[in-house]
Amino acid sequence: MSSVDYSPDTNSSSNSSTTATSVGVTLVIFIVIGVISCCFARKVKQCIVTELRNAVASSASNVAHSSAPYAVPVWEIDQPTMEKFIKEMAEQRAIRFTAHQLYYFTGNYSTPLGAGGFGTVYKGEFPNGVKIAVKVLKRNSDKQAEEQFMNEVGTIGKTYHINLVRLNGFCYDQYMCALVFEYMENRSLDKYLFGKSEELDWRKLQDVAIGTAKGLAYLHEECQQKVIHYDIKPANILLDENFTPKVGDFGLAKLCNRDSTHMSLTGYRGTPGYSAPEFLLKNYPITHKCDVYSFGMVLFEIVGRKRNGGVTDSGNPDWFPQHVWEAHEKGELVEFVRRCGYAEDDKEGVIRMCEVALWCIQDCPDKRPPMSAVVKMLEGFVEIVPPSKPFLYLDPTPKRNSRGSNLQQTSSSSDYSTSNEDSASYWYKKTTPIMKKYEIQIESS
């Protein structure tokens, strides 16, 4: 009888172990391949989306600049990453944008905000939701757009103040010359002074005047280089969503050294009705005091809530600043303010603004107060010295001021030079009657 062998089958066990190992390795390989495929598919999808976006941007640019025979790669600027964008915004630095970016920010320039000789302003929005205003400058043969571009970037681009419009960035290439500003929700002051549909109460107008004065004081007295605006008027005083005033439009502005007493300019600057008389008189140099004069004219329009120049029903010239001076000279300013329709509670502030305005528009630049003194006078913390008569430049007969100096002489021989602006006692007293009364009470107690 043959014996039966019950020993384990080693070959079968080995084959089973090998099969299990193969299956495991295969599964691992498939899993790795799957993970790699998912990652690759995701990256391919991102590349496709990026290529589509670039293609749309390229086609939009070609449509916008179809008149250009070819594009120059040197003008192409790499789009910054969002991290770099946010960082530069946080550092308050003006960013150089591409034409493609401005196209997207403005929705193909679909919402114009206004237009003028300089160009057109469009409403836009950054990817993070911040609203902007894009000023696209018109290019012409006389290079005015390039000059305005350099003035804006070279002046306001170097400053930052709550009462100055913020320059967020710019674009300049062979196709486009544009400036990107913060968006001002309530547009400009002239809409509320000269328009019939919207008005601001007196308290808000006071705040607008003081804020504008602070912005100009910063430009004249606090910047590393003095900035002269040359075109202060209600249309260039912009209001944000809280009606905080911000001086804008620095297309005519100039930088000068802090120790410079005047600027050498050729030609007329500014807007008629706001420009200082020294632009028409050869015996006075052009200084930052021309901005003070323009601001004084703005104060008159705030008080009157109308344009300074007009005509009467009989057709005669009607100049509001002249009426204010005549009322002040006769001691009837209180009654004049009442006739303008102001309430009793607002009377004191209106009279103060009239007196400040009369100081700001003095014909001799040196007799106008610096903007820092204007701020103090408007805020009501000092007692304003009664202003002297302005408009002497309109009189063809030479006049003399209170110190006897001939007003037809140059301001270099004036008794009140710009180098002595810190001596503010000429325009105001450093203690108000209220403060004096308080001091008397303390001494007697």
Q: What is the pLDDT of residues 386-395, one digit of tens each?
A: 999 998 766 6
Q: 207 Cβ partners below 8 Å, 6+ apart?
A: 243, 245
Active-site positions read 231
What's the mean pLDDT when you consider all of the chain?
78
| pLDDT score at 60 | 43
What's the gap between Cα 430 and its chain centre? 32
Contact status, residue 163 vs residue 246, Cβ threshold 8 Å: yes
Q: Using one digit for the tens of pLDDT, what is the confidence trace for 267-324?
A: 556 789 999 998 887 767 789 999 999 999 999 999 999 999 887 777 788 899 999 9
Q: Using one digit for the tens of pLDDT, what is the confidence trace for 168-183?
A: 999 998 888 999 999 9
| pLDDT score at 90 | 53
316-326 as b/e, with b when 16 or more CB fall inside 10 Å?
eebebbebbbe
The answer on pLDDT for 328 being more than 90 is: yes
Contact status, residue 240 vs residue 393, Cβ threshold 8 Å: no
Q: Which of 11-20, 265-274, 350-359 has the lowest mean pLDDT?
A: 11-20
The answer on pLDDT for 160 being more than 70 is: yes
Quote the tokens at residue 302.
């705030």
Confidence of residue 217 (pLDDT cuts 50, 70, 90): very high
Q: How many alpha carbons lie under 13 Å from residue 239 in its C-beta half-sphere?
A: 19
Quote the tokens at residue 342.
């102001």
Q: Does 430 belong to an annotated binding site?
A: no
Rounded Cα–Cα distance for residues 355 and 127 (Å): 47
Contact status, residue 256 vs residue 226, Cβ threshold 8 Å: yes
Contact status, residue 378 vs residue 213, Cβ threshold 8 Å: yes
Q: How many alpha carbons lie under 13 Å from residue 245 in its C-beta half-sphere?
A: 24
* Domains parsed from the chain with CATH numbers: 93-182 (3.30.200.20), 190-444 (1.10.510.10)
The average pLDDT across 24-43 equals 75
pTM more than 0.85 = no
